[in-house]
Amino acid sequence: MCGICGIINLHPSQPVNQQTLLDMTASMTHRGPDEEGTYYCHQAGLGSRRLSIIDLVSGRQPITNEDETLWIVFNGEIYNYRELRAYLQKRGHQFRTQTDTETILHLYEEFGVECFEKLNGIFAIAIWDIPNQQATLARDRMGVKPLYYSMSGGQLVFGSEMKVLLANPQVKREIDPIALNEYLSFEYVPTPRTILRNIYRLDAGCYLRYDQSGLCTQPYWKLSLERSENRPPVDWRDFADGLYQTLKESVRSELVSDVPVGVLLSGGIDSSTVTAFMVDLYPGTVDSFSISFEEESFDESRYARLASCHLGTRHHELTLTSKTAASMVADITNYLDEPFGDSSLIPTYLLSQFARQQVKVVLGGDGGDELFAGYPTLKAHRMIELYERLVPWTVRAKLAPKISSRLPVSFSNISLDFKIRRFLAGRGVSLQERHHRWLGSFFDEEKQLLLQDWLKPVLRDTYTRAYQHEQESKVRTPLNAILYSDMKLYLEGDILFKVDRASMANSLEVRVPLLNPLVVEFANALPLDLKLHNLTGKYLLKKCMTGKLPRAIINRPKKGFNMPVAQWLTTELRQLMLDMFSEEMVNRQGLFNYPYIKSLIDDHLTHRRDNRKLLWTLLVFQLWHNRYIS
């Protein structure tokens, strides 16, 4: 696991600046504290920071092939590299190391860009082909590992984080208004955009080619749910054993490592499933890690302890106080180079820091909600259809909004008033808009009040990416379109971004067995009814794990990894919020209308409204803007 970067300049009269390459490499030391390596020639430079997991002695990057015509830097892990290596050796390839990195390079020699289809793993790859004066970048199927790029100053600049590109003086810092609009609604900027113009993320499952003919991107793999709609009605028993064996093989393959491996155990069914298989397969006692919270409505540590006790892990628990977590907020941009509005980044960071004291590698349970329909919003889509059909129009249009506006405001975790107001906000809009209203932050009507006039034309683009993904999904069932959208947007833009930044800031590798290609292909071919059965999410997964996990964990309600942001904004973070939203700062930025922000603050501080999502989304943006733009 590493951080990678590079500069490719194909103009003979403009050699790559070696010092800039070193600066870019140094900016991501946290991603790989064990080793630094660079390759440099007139037209190309590659940089790597390495976190040593496989072949601790001879695995330094960049790595070259036998005749030094190809060079590679690589961030990630390839779980089937040993099988691929054996095949390549039979084909006559000579290996100098025991790494998965070198296997990728020889596979590229053998198959060209088709090699990426054969990799089972998480990866961001860059290959420099000297004879063809050609650079190739690639990213794993689900987007677990990040990869940013920009065409700046006539050169291709790329890296594992946006701050790596910003260490290159050729890369400009100019906010993209469309991306700002998307961030305010989604709480992240959907790929391929980033918050800055002319800096992009490579799409998951795609490769990029750059040579004298220009730059182009192509998919090498496409997400598909079409098979799930072309199967006759089935019984869960027909698929339970297949899912069990697929999960087992996925966990087994992802335990490959030359250092100890632990597991992040929240006590939810996803992380508990991964832990259960790991306990069976791992040679030794499994170390599990979780976090507990002071605030009772946010704390679910009892489930992690229950899972650990049942499965027999050596459990480590960190108790997180509100004061400790809130104290991190002012420094949040130390590990965020883009605005990111999901407050669970903070406990994820602290959990990663805690686990890193014991291990370098952990397995996590991310991806289960997207693959197996675990989010409450999916049930809410079914419920709102019934609501629209069965409840009289006068009640829906007049009485319900009045009642919801008079509900007492609570700052507890996902309180009743919060859920009712969110549910009603999904009325009268398209499926995609409804879904992202429920998940995200600002609605367009709120941004009309927030944004200055010159920015308002971008509001027409708010949900464009969601509609594009709905079209490309080629599914007929609305909830399948939502699952597809979640995998392309929320999973990659929020969940995987959060885990990568929080873990790599602490030099910890997180692997995600539920997003192994074996599991993804199996899950995406399942009929929808085996995922969301009436109002029961993760139906087949729950059936599959019955008897292997405690019933209390299988049947526990879904609850996010949230933080008491609403309360923080009235206590520990009050002064920081007032400073970041000062009239002088807001007016100097020229993006937002100060009177509207002041009304959000006043209503929240007096408990007239719970504006936690809006204020937190804005606060993180202000902190980011203050560091990277101002």
Is 60 in the same domain as 127?
yes
CA max distance for the chain: 76
The model's pLDDT over 279-289, given as tens digits with 9 standing for 90+, comes to 999 999 999 99
Q: Are residues 179 and 41 in the same domain?
A: yes
Question: Is residue 194 located within the same domain as residue 315?
Answer: no
Whether 483 is covered by a domain: the verdict is: no
Q: When comparing pLDDT for 398 and 357, which is higher?
A: 357
Residue 232 or 436, more confident: 436
Residue 401 included in any domain: no
Tens digits of per-residue pLDDT, 123-175? 999 999 999 999 999 999 999 999 999 999 899 999 999 999 999 999 999 99
pLDDT at 358 over 90: yes
Q: What is the mean pLDDT of residues 74-93?
A: 95
**End-of-domain residue from the set 219, 248, 279:** 219
Domain that holds residue 305: 226-321+340-373+494-554
Query: Residue 572: what residue type?
Result: E
Is the pLDDT higher at 460 or at 518?
A: 518
Mean pLDDT of the chain: 92
Question: Which of these is catalytic: 2, 5, 115, 206?
Answer: 2
pLDDT of residue 473: 94
177-191, 203-217, 415-429: which has the minimum mean pLDDT? 415-429
The reported pLDDT for the residue numbered 252 is 96
Residue 206 a catalytic site member: no
Residues 117 and 247 in one domain: no
Query: Residue 403 above 80 pLDDT?
Result: no
Quote the strand ranges of 222-347, DSSP E: 261-264, 287-293, 314-320
How distant, in Å, are the alpha carbons of 143, 452, 521, 560 from that of 221? 12, 41, 11, 30
Going by C-alpha positions, the residue among 2, 4, 97 that lies closest to residue 50 is 2
Top pLDDT among 12 and 144 is at 144
Is the distance from CB of 427 to CB of 383 less than 8 angstroms?
Answer: no
Residue 321 has a pLDDT of 82
pLDDT, average across residues 40-67: 84
| Domain assignment of residue 437, yes or no | no
Domain co-membership, 122 together with 202: yes
Q: Is the dihedral of CA 516, 520, 523, 528 positive or negative?
A: positive
Task: Grade residue 353 by pLDDT with cuts at 50, 70 and 90.
Answer: very high
- H and E: helices and strands count for the chain: 29, 17
Residue 306 belongs to domain with CATH number: 3.40.50.620
Question: Does residue 412 register a pLDDT over 70?
Answer: no
Residue 86's domain is classified under what CATH number?
3.60.20.10
| Cα radius of gyration rounded to whole Å, the chain | 24
Of 159, 189, 219, the one marking the end of a domain is: 219
Mean local confidence (pLDDT), 59-75? 92
pLDDT for the residue numbered 335: 86
Final residue belonging to a domain, choices 524, 554, 584: 554
Among residues 152, 610, 146, 142, the alpha carbon closest in space to that of 409 is found at: 610
For residue 269, the tally of other CB atoms under 10 A from its CB is 28
pLDDT at 416: 63
Query: CA distances (Å), 530 to each of 39, 243, 266, 533, in order?
Result: 50, 11, 24, 6
Residue 389 pLDDT more than 80? no
Same domain? For 106 and 175 the reply is yes
Domain-embedded: residue 417 = no
Predicted TM-score (pTM) of this structure: 0.94
How many distinct structural domains can be found in the chain? Answer: 2
- pLDDT, position 60: 81
Same-domain check for residues 313 and 244: yes
Same-domain pairing of 195 and 268: no
* pLDDT exceeds 70 at position 301: yes
Tell me whether residue 88 is in a domain.
Answer: yes
- The answer to whether 303 and 266 are in contact (CB under 8 A) is yes
pLDDT digits (tens, 9 = 90+) for 103-124: 999 999 999 999 999 999 999 9
Average pLDDT over residues 342-362: 95
The 3-class secondary structure across 542-606, one letter per residue, is: HHHHECCECHHHHCCCCCCCCCCHHHHCCCCCHHHHHHHCCHHHHHHHCCECHHHHHHHHHHHHC
Q: Say if 407 falls within a structural domain.
A: no
- Indicate if 239 and 364 belong to the same structural domain: yes
For the cut 70, the answer to whether the pLDDT of residue 554 exceeds it is: yes
Do residues 47 and 164 share a domain? Answer: yes
Please say if the pLDDT value at position 388 is more than 90: no
Give yes or no for residue 406 having a pLDDT over 80: no
467 is a domain residue: no
Whether 395 maps to a domain, the answer reads no
Task: Tell me the pLDDT tens digit for each residue of 487-497.
Answer: 999 999 999 99
Residue 610 tokens read as 């719970």
pLDDT-derived band of residue 290, with 50, 70 and 90 as boundaries? very high
- Going from the C-alpha of 463 to that of each of 272, 467, 471, the distances in angstroms are 34, 6, 13
pLDDT score recorded for residue 277: 98
Q: Are residues 178 and 101 in the same domain?
A: yes
CB of 135 closer than 8 Å to CB of 125: no
The CA-based dihedral angle spanning residues 498, 147, 510, 25, taken in that order and rounded to the nearest 10 degrees = -100
| Residues 175 and 258 reside in one and the same domain | no
Confidence of residue 581 (pLDDT cuts 50, 70, 90): very high
